[in-house]
């Protein structure tokens, strides 16, 4: 068994499952957001700050948005990890890049969290 | 001297760069994924701006009115559209469908057609 310390799920099967689960979560969120935007457009073509902020202030939307962001970051972690293992052959360079990837994903997650909870 | 020679136009997607259509959707899925990861900080920054205050919301709207900003925003949204559409194909294949040669060909072509329609609609929305 090959040990992959920088992958998210620690095994190919875990990564595969996380990749699919996160995809379904994001798909649902994208459709939800699209539905909201189309609905809002029908009522009032020009999107206003009040409407937009009011939408993200709803607890349900906050939770959905955070789950979607968590899905994005997990999905990107696995996806970009795969890209690195495919194209970056020197191990030292790859470990550095994958470490940066992990730090970046976690930073984006906490940044997004602070944005969503600040509304 | 005029030469009236036939010109070969690679119109069928299967002929582009000698790649089968499944290979094209596959590499575009990967490229759009990388683009989205790189664009994620920009998207979060826009979300922050749009939600911070009425003034920053208006500021962001002004920024997005510029031609280059519209193009960049449209490219990002198109990358989302492609990644989602091609991703749905992967999910359908995970369920055991469209795994034959003809099925795969048809599904990949459908992904490309749906993407062109989505990109056009997003263009209308952005401009």
CB–CB of A112 and B51 under 8 A?
A: no
> Is 70 exceeded by the pLDDT of residue B15?
no
DSSP code at position B18 = G
Task: Name the residue facing B51 among A56, A80, A83 (closest C-beta).
Answer: A56
Query: pLDDT value at position B80?
Result: 97
Give the integer Cα–Cα distance in Å for B109 and B88. Answer: 14
Query: Which residues of chain B have a Cβ shorter than 8 Å from any chain A Cβ?
Result: 30, 33-34, 36-37, 40-41, 44, 47-48, 50-54, 57-58, 80, 84, 87-88, 90-91, 94
Express as a percent the part of chain A with pLDDT over 90.
88
CB–CB of B44 and A20 under 8 A?
A: no
Q: Which residue has the tokens 């890049």?
A: A97
Q: Is there a contact between A76 and A105 (Cβ–Cβ < 8 Å)?
A: yes
Give the integer Cα–Cα distance in Å for B82 and B33. Answer: 9
Give the integer Cα–Cα distance in Å for A105 and A30. Answer: 20
Q: Which residue has the tokens 């003034």?
A: B55
Q: Token digits for A19?
A: 């990749």
Query: pLDDT value at position A102?
Result: 97
Q: Token digits for B33?
A: 């994924």
Q: Is there a contact between A77 and A8 (Cβ–Cβ < 8 Å)?
A: yes
In terms of Cα–Cα distance, which of B74, B75, B103 is closest to B89? B103
Which chain A residues are Cβ-neighbours of B49 within 8 angstroms? Answer: none
Tell me if ipTM is over 0.90.
yes
Give the integer Cα–Cα distance in Å for B14 and B21. Answer: 5
pTM value is 0.89
Mean pLDDT of chain A: 95
């Amino acid at each position: 068994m090959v040990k992959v310390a920088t992958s998210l799920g620690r095994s190919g099967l875990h990564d595969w499952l996380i990749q699919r689960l996160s995809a379904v979560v994001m798909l649902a969120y994208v459709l939800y957001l699209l539905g909201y935007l189309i609905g809002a457009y029908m009522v009032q073509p020009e999107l206003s700050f009040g409407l937009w902020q009011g939408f993200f202030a709803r607890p349900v939307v906050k939770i959905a948005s955070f789950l979607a962001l968590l899905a994005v970051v997990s999905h990107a972690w696995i996806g970009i990890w795969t890209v690195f293992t495919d194209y970056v052959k020197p191990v030292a360079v790859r470990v550095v890049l994958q470490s940066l990837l992990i730090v970046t994903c976690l930073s984006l997650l906490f940044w997004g969290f602070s944005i969503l909870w600040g509304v | 001297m005029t030469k009236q020679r036939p010109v070969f136009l690679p119109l069928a997607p299967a002929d582009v760069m000698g790649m089968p259509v499944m290979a094209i959707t596959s590499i575009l899925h990967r490229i759009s994924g990388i683009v989205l990861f790189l664009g994620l900080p920009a998207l979060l920054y826009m979300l922050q701006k749009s939600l911070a205050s009425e003034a920053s919301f208006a500021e962001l709207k002004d920024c997005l009115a510029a031609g280059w900003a519209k193009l960049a925003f449209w490219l990002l949204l198109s990358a989302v559209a492609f990644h989602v559409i091609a991703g749905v194909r992967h999910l359908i294949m995970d369920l055991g469908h469209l795994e034959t040669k003809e099925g795969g060909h048809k599904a990949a072509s459908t992904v490309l057609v749906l993407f062109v329609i989505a990109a056009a609609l997003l263009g209308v929305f952005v401009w």
